[in-house]
Amino acid sequence: MSGIAELLLSEGYVVSGSDAHESEITKRLEELGAKIGYPQKADNIPDDTDTVVMTAAIHEDNPELMEARRRGLKVETRADFLGQIMRGYDMPVAIAGTHGKTTTTAMVSEILLASDMDPTISIGGNLRDIGGNFRVGGRRYFVMEACEYTNSYHSFYPKVGIILNVEPDHLDFFHDIEDIRRSFHKYGENIPDDGVLIINKEIEGFDEVAGGLKCRVVTFGTDDSADYHAENITYDEFARAAFDVYHDGNKRSITLGVSGSHNVLNALSAIAAADELGIDDDCIRMGLQNFKGTDRRFEVKGKLNGFTIIDDYAHHPTEIKATLSTALKYPHNELWVVFQSHTYTRTKALLDEFADALSLADHVISAEIYPARETDTLGMSGEVIAEKVREKGTDCYYFPTFAEIENFIKETLTDNDLLITMGAGDVVKIGDELLSGS
C-alpha cells in the first residue's frame, strides 16, 4: 500500500491513509505529502475523497471501510487498483509462482536497473538497491510480484508473465491442487496475444496451466528440452552457482551473487524475461552477479559465540528443502533450524511434508505456529510438528516461547555451527534479539 501511495504522490494525486501506529514507512509518506491518521477510524477519510483502496487484510467491520460504504464512495481492492496502474505502462512484467516470486522479481529488477531502463518496481520484500519494496521509475517498464492468494493476480495484465512453480499452498482459500492450477491458467489467460508466458517446464500438470493460451509460451528448466536450460552448474564455498545457459543453440555463462540451486531456475526465468525485453548479455550478467538477495532470503545476520545466524522466509516444504540444501553447502559444523510454521491450515495440510523437509537439518527447534489471520488451531501446534520431525529420526526440540528458544540456543550451539531462523512470521526476532544481546 505504501508503494502505491508513493507512486500516486509522485504523479500529483492527493493521498491520505492510516495505520495502527507511526512507523518509518508512514513517516516517509508524510514527508512526501501524504496525510496519515492513527489509528484507523472513520474520521481518517477526508470529505473530498474520490476512491478508497484497501488490502485483502481489511475486514468489513473496519471503521474506515464502513464509513466509505456509508458515504457511497468508490472502494477498490489493492490488486484491482494496482492492475489499473499497470495498464498505464508499455511493458508490465509480473512474476508468479508458489515460491521464489520475491527473489525472481528482484533478479529481473536488478537486470533492468543494470541496463538503466528506469523500471517502476513493486516487490514483496525489501530490495536494498531501491531502499525498500517499491521504486517509482519511468512509464515504460513495471516489474511486479504477483501473488496467487485470493486470486489477486487475476487483476494483472502483464505483457511478460512468469510462472515459477505451481504447488499446494494457501489451502485456506484454494480447494486443492487442481483449483490452484486453474488459477494459474487464468493468470496466463490475462497475458495478451502479443505477450509471452515464461514458465517452468517441470511443473506437474504443465498442460493444465499452460495449455490453450493465446500468448506465446517460453519454457525454462534443467532438462535440455526446455527453451532455456542450465548445464555445467558449479558452486563456490558459499553455495553461489555458476552455470551455462543454453537457448536457441547459444551458450552464455552466468555467475550468481546469491546462494542455492533453486536460484538457478529463478535466474533462468529472469534471463528469459530480459531477452524478451531486449536487454544485452552484459547487463544480464551484471544484474544477476550484483544481486545479493532480498531481506529474509538466506540473509546472513551475523555471528554469536562463534556460530553463524541466517534468517530465511521459507514457509513451504519445497522452500525449506531448497534453503536447507543451500545451507548444507555453506561452511558449518552442525546445522540447526528454528522453524515457525505459518498458519494452522498450511501446517495441517502439509505436516508430513514439513517433517520430511526439516529432516535435512541436524537439529530442529520448533516454535509455536504463527496464526496470521487464523483462530482455529485445527489441532495443530509447534509441539505436534516437533513430534512429527522426531518420527523422521531427526533431533528436535519444542519450546513455547522465543525467550526459551533463545536461552537454549545460547547454552547449546558452539563454534562453527550454523543457525537458520525460518518462517514467514516473526521468527526473525530470535536472531535479532540474540545478536543485540537482549
Residues noted as catalytic: 101-102, 145
Residue 120: closest CA among 30, 15, 3: 3
C-alpha cell belonging to residue 293: 538477495
Which amino acid is located at 340 in the chain? Q
Residue 168: closest CA among 359, 363, 317, 64: 317
| Residue showing cell 484491482 | 80
First to last CA, the chain: 32
Phi, psi of 115 (to 5 degrees): -95, 10
State how far Cα 401 lies from the chain centre. 26
C-alpha cell belonging to residue 36: 496519515
Q: Would you say the C-alpha torsion 238, 314, 310, 133 has a positive or negative sign?
A: positive
d(CA 267, CA 40): 41
Residue 149 has, within 13 A of its CA and on its CB side, a CA count of 13
Residues present in the chain in total: 438
d(CA 162, CA 102): 12
How buried is residue 42: exposed, middle or buried, by Cβ count under 10 Å (0-12/13-18/19+)? middle
d(CA 224, CA 230): 8
C-alpha cell belonging to residue 23: 512507523
| Residue showing cell 501446517 | 347
Return the ∠ at Cα 18 (arms to 16 and 23), rounded to 5°: 110
